[in-house]
Chains A and B, each alone.
Chain A
Amino acid sequence: MEQKTKVNAEDGKQELMITREFDLPVEMLFKAHAEPELVEQWMSNPFATAKMLKFEGKKHGCYQGESTDANGNVVFRSNGMFHEFIPNRKITRTFEMENAPFGVQLEIYEFEKLTDNTSKLNMHVIFESVPLRDQLLQLPFAQGINMAHDRIQEILGKSK
């Protein structure tokens, strides 16, 4: 099945453009990114349970999350800060995977209303270098984010 989340990685650039359209009002799409309980739900998958250890959803707030496997081992932990946090419109944040060689990323999320019941997420992810970006793309990154977005649609779609 074709993935609905499109990851565009232009050759030789240190950034990614990721887009996805949702059958959700923009307010719900934003909520999925702004409420820690919801983030935990869609970041979790059959192999790992996500937990937000810290989540200050506001301008200049910080966050930290971790995922654990079925045995309770921490699979990964990430943290960053919200540089900008405009409800239903925009989140600009830093992101770092702890103890991983990917550096720090600057991530710009734009939430766009299409119709009353559909919306579009535009993610612009900027890396410290081209090799760091390309290294991340070696992992099943595009599949992972597509699955996570599928879960946003599924979880929030129920409460429409």
Chain B
Amino acid sequence: MGLKTKMHAEEGKQDLIITREFDLPVELVFKAHVDPELIVQWKTLPNTTAKILKFGGKKHGSYQMQSTDAQGKIVSSVSGVIHEFIPNQKMIRTFEVENAPIGVQLEIYDFERLTDNTSKLSMHVIYESGAIRDQLLKMPGASGYTMGMAHDRMQELMNKFK
């Protein structure tokens, strides 16, 4: 579990490459990333509930998401703008965790069709500095494993649409 997602962080750089192959048509992988009702079901931190406050799923749209714990306390709030939005192909956005000292990230998602029923997601995440990237990688929840677990949930969630 969680191991199918590969994260590559080259020494001394300020970016990350994350790749994952899914047993899903590319359309479903894209849908899982842009449909707010689906996003909240897989893109959550452990023991939290995610809520999408805003999701402009289009070029030049913006988004805002919030995670709350069991007591309803906000544990994280993230937001950004969507620079590019090409259905089933590409999404480029900014990403920021509010009130966290980790700056803004530029994220490029490439959705690639492999066969009718398989596809590949490549994420290129660029940080304001190498130091911020390295600091984030040390935090619990920022590892490739955690993202892999989320991708596992996504695979399972989207299976029913196949």
| A81 vs B61: C-alpha distance when bound (angstroms) | 9
Most buried by B among A84, A92, A105, A106: A106
A81 to chain B, nearest CB (A): 4
Which of the four size classes fits the interface of chain B? 20 to 34
With A14-B126, A81-B83, A94-B92 known to touch, is A104 a contact of B60 (CB < 8 Å)?
no
Determine whether the beta carbon of A14 is less than 8 Å from that of B92.
Answer: no
B124 at the interface (CB under 8 A from A): yes
Determine whether the beta carbon of B14 is less than 8 Å from that of A14.
Answer: yes
Determine whether the beta carbon of B81 is less than 8 Å from that of A106.
Answer: no
Determine whether the beta carbon of A82 is less than 8 Å from that of B81.
Answer: yes
| A70 vs B12: C-alpha distance when bound (angstroms) | 46
Interface of chain B, helix or strand or loop or mixed? strand
Determine whether the beta carbon of A108 is less than 8 Å from that of B104.
Answer: yes
- Nearest residue, chain A, Cβ from B84: A104
B80 at the interface (CB under 8 A from A): yes
A15 at the interface (CB under 8 A from B): yes
Question: What does the 1/0 interface line of A98-118 toward B look like (CB < 8 Å)?
Answer: 000000111010000000000
Question: What does the 1/0 interface line of B81-123 toward A look like (CB < 8 Å)?
Answer: 1111000000010101000000011101000000000000000
B48 at the interface (CB under 8 A from A): no
Residue numbers in A under 8 Å from B15 (CB-CB): 14
A93 to chain B, nearest CB (A): 9
Binding site for A on B (CB under 8 A): 12-15, 60, 62, 80-84, 92, 94, 96, 104-106, 108, 124, 126, 128
25 A-B residue pairs with CB within 8 Å: A12-B12, A14-B14, A14-B126, A15-B14, A62-B60, A80-B83, A81-B60, A81-B62, A81-B81, A81-B82, A83-B81, A92-B94, A92-B104, A94-B83, A94-B92, A94-B94, A96-B84, A104-B106, A104-B108, A106-B94, A106-B104, A106-B106, A106-B126, A126-B14, A126-B106
